[in-house]
């Protein structure tokens, strides 16, 4: 079980950090372009930023911890990562449909 933890947490941390940067780019580009539905897009990007940041923190703490809580932190980080992906997908679809119109 410990080997599985060591293999998954760095991937969650790395990918969450990359997507966190992507969310900042989305938020900045929405502010610059002043889209019509920017409030929904802003809120989605901000929510994704918070979720990915929590996922990064939990996966980092999971890698640094050697207690039984590290497995729980990794599971929560994994769930938050999936939730962040869903939020980011919805936000991206709002941007795409707003640009197509």
Spatial distance between the Cα atoms of 32 and 49, rounded to a whole number of angstroms = 18
- The model carries a pTM of 0.80
Average pLDDT over every residue of 24-45: 78
If you compute the radius of gyration of the chain from its CA atoms, what whole number of angstroms results?
16
Spatial distance between the Cα atoms of 70 and 90, rounded to a whole number of angstroms = 30
Res. 47 pLDDT band, cuts 50 70 90: very high
**Sign of the alpha-carbon torsion through 23, 24, 27, 33:** negative
What's the pLDDT at 83? 95
């Amino acid at each position: 079980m410990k080997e599985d933890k060591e293999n998954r947490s760095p991937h969650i941390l790395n990918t969450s950090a990359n997507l966190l940067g992507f969310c900042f780019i989305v938020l900045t580009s929405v502010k610059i372009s002043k889209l019509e539905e920017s409030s929904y897009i802003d809120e989605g990007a901000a929510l994704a930023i918070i979720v990915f940041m929590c996922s990064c923190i939990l996966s980092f703490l999971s890698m640094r911890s050697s207690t039984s809580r590290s497995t729980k932190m990794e599971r929560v980080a994994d769930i938050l990562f999936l939730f962040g992906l869903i939020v980011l997908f919805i936000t991206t679809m709002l941007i795409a449909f707003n640009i197509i119109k």
